[in-house]
Amino acid sequence: MITIFPQFLSAQDEVTSTSFSDMSIVNKKISSNISIADLVEKVSPSVVNITVSYGSNSPQLFGYGSGFIISARKEVITNFHLIDNVDKIEIELSDGKIYPASIIGADAETDLALLRLETNISIPYLSLAENKRNRVGDWVFAIGNPYGMGQSVSLGIISAIGRARKDGGSYIDYIQTDTSINKGNSGGPLFNLRGEVIGVNSAIYSPTGANIGIAFVIPLKVVMNVITGLRNDGRMKRGYIGVILKTEEFQVEDENPIYSLNSVYGATIKKIVPNSPSHFYGLMEKDIILDINGSTIRNSTQATRAIGALKPGEFANLIIRRKNKTYKFEIMIGERPNKGELEVINKEFND
C-alpha cells in the first residue's frame, strides 16, 4: 500500500577524474566491521506489520503496510493511504502476535494516521524526541514489511532534503533516501544511527513499481505536529482564507510603499472562493500576498503553509499589494476543508 509515481527518465553518465591523495575516505564512525544489529535489536520490537481488509463479502481484499508504536497508550503511526476506507485493521508485533487496532485520527494532506492497538499487554515504544539536524549523506535505516513478507531491515543514506513530489501536498518538504523502500514499507519508520526516528516512509518514485533507490520520507517535525492535532481533534485543523494562489513576480517602479518590500515575488490571488474569509474581508483577485503576520511571503507554497499553520477563529494580519500600492488587512481565519472537498473547489475554480 505505497503510492507509486511512474516516470521514465533518461540520464547520461559523466566520467570525472578525482584525486584522493589529500582526502581521507575512512569514516571512523561507520566501517566495514561495524554492524547495526544492536540498534535493530533495540528498536524493532516497536515496529509493527499492519494488515487491512476491505468488504465483508468473500473473498475479502487485503492490503499491508508498516507502522510503529510511539507511546505507552499503544498509539501507532502509519500512513493515511494504508487505512483509508478499510473495514478492519490488524497489527502484528515482532513476536508474531496479532491484535486489532482502531483509528484515532487521520490526515490525508500529509498521508499520516494515528491508530490505537487494542490490547492490555505492555509493549515497548519509540520516542519522538527531536533529533539533531539531518544532513545529506547521513546513514539511515528502515524497518518495515515489504510485500507483506514480514519485518525487514534496509540501510542507506539521506540523498536529499526538502524534496517536493507530485500529489505530495503543500505541507511537506520530504527527505529523500536511497534506503530500499518497497510496497509494504509504507508507514514504517526511518531511523538515524542513534536509533532515533527521523521520519515516516511514505512513497517511492519508480517506473517499475519496485525500489530504484528513490524514496520519500515525511520528516519528524511534520509528523509530530500532525500527531498532536490527531490526538486532540481526530483531524488536523488548518487555517483557511479561501483563495487559489500562484507565484508571481512583480515590478517596483516609482513607488513609496507603506510596507518595505523584501522581495519582488509574492503569492498572487487567482480566484477567491465565494463566502470565504477572503471574500468577506475584501480581498480581490490579482491581489499579491506579501506578508502574513510579519513573515515575508515569496511564493504560493509559503503562503499556503503560513495560512495553514494559523488557528481557525484567530485573526491574522496580511500585507497585500494591489495596483502598485500596499495595504494591510486583518482577516479572521476559517478552517480548511478536507482534501476531497478542497480538490472539488480547486477543480471548479481552475476550470
Q: How far is CA 195 from the centre of its chain?
A: 21
Q: Is 111 a catalytic residue?
A: yes
* Per-residue pLDDT at 249: 72
| Sequence-ordered list of residues with C-beta below 8 angstroms from that of 22, at least 6 positions apart, any chain | none
Q: Is 186 a catalytic residue?
A: yes
Q: Compute the distance between CA of residue 37 and CA of residue 219 in angstroms, rounded to an integer.
A: 24
Q: What is the arithmetic mean of pLDDT over 107-116? A: 94
* Per-residue pLDDT at 338: 79
Q: What is the pLDDT of residues 210-250, one digit of tens each?
A: 667 788 999 999 999 999 999 998 888 999 999 988 887 76
Higher pLDDT, 69 or 252: 69
| Sequence-ordered list of residues with C-beta below 8 angstroms from that of 36, at least 6 positions apart, any chain | 141, 153, 155, 193
Q: Compute the distance between CA of residue 152 and CA of residue 281 in angstroms, rounded to an integer.
A: 54
Q: What is the arithmetic mean of pLDDT over 280-289? A: 92
For residue 246, list its beta bridge partners.
Answer: 268
Helix H or strand E encompassing 224: helix 220-233
| Alpha-carbon torsion angle 318, 219, 27, 44, nearest 10 | 160
pLDDT at 36 over 80: yes
Joined grid coordinates for residue 103: 483509528
Q: Are 198 and 191 in contact (CB under 8 A)?
A: yes
Joined grid coordinates for residue 44: 524493532
* Per-residue pLDDT at 166: 61
Identify the band that residue 251 occupies on the pLDDT scale cut at 50, 70 and 90: low
| Alpha-carbon torsion angle 169, 87, 104, 84, nearest 10 | 0
Domains and CATH numbers, the chain: 1-6+31-123+135-234 (2.40.10.120), 239-350 (2.30.42.10)
Q: What is the pLDDT of residues 115-158, one digit of tens each?
A: 999 999 999 999 887 767 889 999 999 999 888 888 899 999 99
* Per-residue pLDDT at 238: 92
Q: Compute the distance between CA of residue 167 and CA of residue 180 in angstroms, rounded to an integer.
A: 22
Q: Compute the distance between CA of residue 141 and CA of residue 196 in angstroms, rounded to an integer.
A: 10
Of the listed 46, 66, 107, 111, which one is catalytic?
Answer: 111
pLDDT at 70 over 80: yes
For residue 114, list its beta bridge partners.
Answer: 77, 105
Place of cell 520528516: 219
- Of 32-36, 101-105, 212-216, the one with minimum mean pLDDT is 32-36
* Per-residue pLDDT at 21: 36
Place of cell 544489529: 37
Q: Compute the distance between CA of residue 144 and CA of residue 190 in angstroms, rounded to an integer.
A: 9
Q: What is the arithmetic mean of pLDDT over 83-87? A: 92
Q: What is the pLDDT of residues 300-321, one digit of tens each?
A: 888 998 999 899 999 999 999 9
Of the listed 46, 66, 180, 186, which one is catalytic?
Answer: 186
Residue 247 CB coordination number (10 Å): 16
Exposed (0-12), middle (13-18) or buried (19+): which is 49, by Cβ within 10 Å? buried
* Per-residue pLDDT at 13: 35
Q: What is the arithmetic mean of pLDDT over 22-36? A: 52
- What percentage of the chain has pLDDT greater than the value 70? 81
* Per-residue pLDDT at 10: 30
DSSP code of residue 333:
-
Q: Is 81 a catalytic residue?
A: yes
Of the listed 81, 107, 278, 300, which one is catalytic?
Answer: 81
| Alpha-carbon torsion angle 130, 112, 138, 31, nearest 10 | 100
Joined grid coordinates for residue 330: 486583518
Place of cell 505536529: 225
* Per-residue pLDDT at 168: 59
Q: In angstroms, how far apart are the furthest CA atoms of the chain?
A: 73
For residue 296, list its beta bridge partners.
Answer: 291
* Per-residue pLDDT at 9: 35
Q: Compute the distance between CA of residue 159 and CA of residue 135 in angstroms, rounded to an integer.
A: 9
Joined grid coordinates for residue 207: 517506473
Most confident of 108-112, 145-149, 160-164, 247-251: 108-112
Identify the band that residue 255 occupies on the pLDDT scale cut at 50, 70 and 90: low
Q: Is the link from the previous residue into 219 a cis peptide, with omega within 30 of 0?
A: no
Whole-number average pLDDT of the chain: 82
C-alpha distances out from residue 108 to 84, 267, 333, Å: 9, 24, 21
Joined grid coordinates for residue 298: 515569496
